[in-house]
Every structure is written in C-alpha cells, then in structure tokens.
Amino acid sequence: MEREIQEIITDSIETKQKTLKLKDIIGQSAQMLIAVLKSGHKILVCGNGGSAADAQHMAGELVGRFERERAALPCIALTTDSSIMTAWSNDYEYASVFARQVSAIGQAGDVLVGISTSGNSKNVICAIEEAKKRGMRSIVLTGKNGGLIKHMEDVFTIIIPSNRTPRIQEVHIMIIHIWCQLIEDTLF
C-alpha cells in the first residue's frame, strides 16, 4: 500500500511539474478574469461531477473569500440550482442545461469558465456556444487531448498534460486557486 501511495503522489507531482509549461496561458487567463471583474462584469462557471464541485468551489472562493477579507466578487456556479437543472433537463434535455442559464443571466463582457476533464462534455460545449452568441468570452479547463472543445473557435483552452481524470482534476483546482490568489492580489 505504501508503494501505491508513493506512486499516486509522484504522479500528481509530475503532472503539476508538466503544468509549469502552461504558466503563460494560466497567467493570460487570470488577466482575462481580472479584467472582467474590474469592468464590473461577472464570471459564470460550469462542469459535471467533480468539475461541478470545482465550479462551486471557484464561486465560493470569489463570492466569499480566498485568503483575505474583501468585497464579494460576482461569480455564479451554474451547477447549484437543482430546480433549474432538473426542470430543464426533464422537460428538454441535459445537453442545454448550462446554455439555458447562460441565456438567462449571461451578458456581453461576462466570461464563462467551463470545466471538462475530457473536453467533450456536451452541456459545456453548448454553454460555450451560447456564451459566444451573447458576446462573452470562454475559458475552459480540460485535459487528455482537449477533446472537441480544443477545436472550438475563440475559446481560451487550458489542456492539462495528463490522461488520468484524478490528476487532471487536481490540477484544475490548483489553477482555480492560482486564479483566486491573483485576482485577490490584483484587485485588493
């Protein structure tokens, strides 16, 4: 068991070391988020499963606080309203559940953060398409080969260099924490 634990931790460290090559794009995405917040616009975040939890985590850090006492920042996780999620999915389809919310509250100047370990989540793809129609920019955290999302135009895609979902998710949350720290350090 000790050897397996060592291998898991080593794999996690190696994935994060490979992610150092993405520091420029991570910094550019942080600057985009900072600019959106400075301009008085908001961040919408979505994902499925563990990525839904990461979306909620990001919103919690920005609306609440990350490391310092400060004013609340406008960030909405599209994964949290069970009535919207279940009503829309039941009456229409799950693929458009995030897009419907983007159409309700997304505005030009806002940014959508999509989280999809495979890059193939249909509901995240539909949300990106709706965001584009509304004049919003999109940042997507993904992994593996970037999936279908890496081929979408005008999408700022960060592809984690791993094929393992747990390692991808660990780096996604690290990037979210980097964003939150840079946002707080810049705006407060």
Q: Where does 20-142 have alpha helices with state H?
A: 23-38, 50-63, 82-91, 97-105, 122-133
Q: Band the pLDDT of 185: cuts 50, 70, 90.
A: very high
> What domains are there in the chain, each with its CATH number?
2-187 (3.40.50.10490)
What's the pLDDT at 40? 98
> What pTM does this model have?
0.96
Query: β-pairing, 43-47 with 75-77?
Result: parallel
> Which long-range CB contacts under 8 A does 17-23 form with residues at least 24 apart?
18/161, 18/162, 19/160, 19/161, 19/171, 19/174, 19/175, 21/161, 22/158, 22/160, 22/161
Contact 12, 167 (CB under 8 A): yes
Location of structure tokens 């499925």: 48
pLDDT at 8: 95
- What confidence score (pLDDT) does residue 3 get? 95
C-alpha dihedral sign at 64, 37, 31, 150: positive
What pLDDT shows up at residue 86? 96
Per the prediction, the chain carries an average pLDDT of 97
Per residue in 35-91, pLDDT (tens digit) is 999 999 999 999 999 999 999 999 999 999 999 999 999 999 999 999 999 999 999
Q: How far apart are CA 134 and CA 155, in angstroms?
A: 14
- 54 alpha-carbon distance from chain centroid: 7
pLDDT digits (tens, 9 = 90+) for 91-118: 999 999 999 999 999 999 999 999 999 9
Strand order in the sheet with 155-159: 75-77, 43-47, 111-115, 137-142, 155-159
| Helix (H/G/I), strand (E/B), else coil: 67 | coil
